[in-house]
Amino acid sequence: MKRLISLTLLLSIFLTACGASSAPTPASAAEAPTLAPTEAPPTATPEPEPQTLTVFAAASLTDAFIEIGAAFDAANPGVTTTFNFGGSQTLRTQIEEGAPVDVFASANAKEMDTLVTDNFVTADIAQVFLTNKLVVILPADNPAALEKLEDLANPGIKLVLAAEEVPVGKYSRQAFDLMDASFGTGFKDKVLANVVSNEDNVKQVVAKVQLGEADAGIVYTSDAIAAPDLKTIEIPADLNVIAKYPIAPLVNSENTELAAQFIEYVLSAEGQSVLAKWGFAPIK
């Protein structure tokens, strides 16, 4: 007991010395020295009404939207744009389950259309703001010595794709259908037999290839640009699938004006040039 008391005292003294703003919970009221309540720091003079804009965006948009968000915040004092990046299908489910969101940017029309059907987004309000296409990525040292697209069918290579539920995973499989017709039937089956994991979003595919766990992965061109340490194999236009990204404000948004401003900014010359920088094909 004696030790406990001295420990408590010691702790209290230590905390007082540190100028802790909150009083420690004393083990016994009598023993602990009372701490004078510290003055609250003077609050800064209020700036323009602080506003928060919440944007849910496809994982592939991560780098570009962080940059656009910073520029948008700088141009609009008092505004803080926060992002939630993830597979578009995850974001769509979160929105349906009541996540408070102002703007949704999807990597495919399907998730946006579902939200329109379920009255989370007004019909015909969504606008395509960029396109993206697929590319094969390889670790820098290319452990499986892949040279061309056909090599994806080499038996035993470790291929990582996004899951079929993820837009880029769906597009990858559509591209395999096109390749199947071009390289001979059985190509798609051989490639799919090489899949060792169906990742939850496109950035996970990039990560597995960067770590060298996978011999190859299929992602968007923009993801390959965001990871310059990786090798790539281009997919020719006739075998590629063009992803169209729609953006829209949410019906339940409490910042409709700000949401419209953000979308306008994404579609503006500045916004589009940032997107182009990160490897997307701008619309304008």
Partner 1 sequence: MTNSRKLFSRFFGEGYSKWIFLLPSLILLAFFALPIIALAYRSIAPDFFENALSQQSFQALKLSLVTSSITTLIAVALGTPLAYLLARWKFRFKAWLELILDLPIVLPPSVAGLALLIAFGRRGLFGAFLNDIGISIPFTTTAVIMAQMFVAAPLYVRSARIGFAHIDKQLEESAYVEGANQWQLFYEVMIPIAIRALASGAILTWTRALGEFGATILFAGNLEGVTQTMPIAIYIGFERNLGVAMALSVVLILVSVILLLITKQLDKEEE
Binding residues for partner 1, per CB under 8 A? 87, 89-90, 93, 143, 158, 160, 163, 165-166, 195-200, 208, 211-213
**Smallest distance, Å, CB 8 to partner 1?**
15
Q: In 10 A of CB 48, how many CB atoms?
A: 9
Min. distance of Cβ 208 from partner 1 in angstroms? Answer: 7
Phi/psi for 106 (5° steps) reads -105, 155
Which sign, positive or negative, has the C-alpha torsion 171, 175, 180, 186? negative
Rounded-to-integer distance, Cα 222 and Cα 202, Å: 11
Q: How far is the CB of 32 from partner 1 (least distance, A)?
A: 15
What's the rounded Cα separation, in Å, for the pair 258 and 79? 9
Residue 18 vs 29, nearer CB to partner 1: 29
Q: Between 163 and 281, whose beta carbon lies closer to partner 1?
A: 163
User: Whole-number minimum distance, CB 101 to partner 1, in Å?
Assistant: 17
Which is nearer to partner 1, 61 or 79 (by Cβ)?
61
- For residue 107, what are the CA distances in angstroms to 103, 111, 250? 13, 8, 16
CB of 97 to partner 1, least distance (A): 9
DSSP 35: P
217 or 279, CB closer to partner 1?
Answer: 217
Six token digits for residue 129:
């703001």
Q: Which is nearer to partner 1, 8 or 93 (CB)?
A: 93
DSSP 236: -
Q: Alpha-carbon distance 72 to 102, whole Å?
A: 15
Q: How far is the CB of 163 from partner 1 (least distance, A)?
A: 6
Give the phi and the psi of residue 271 in degrees, each rounded to 5.
-60, -45
Which of 248, 196, 199, 242 is CA-nearest to residue 221?
242
Nearer to partner 1, 68 or 230 (CB): 230
Residue 245 CB, nearest approach to partner 1 (Å): 18
* Closest among 187, 130, 190 to 156, alpha carbons compared: 190
Identity of the residue numbered 107: A
Of 133 and 188, which has the nearer Cβ to partner 1?
188
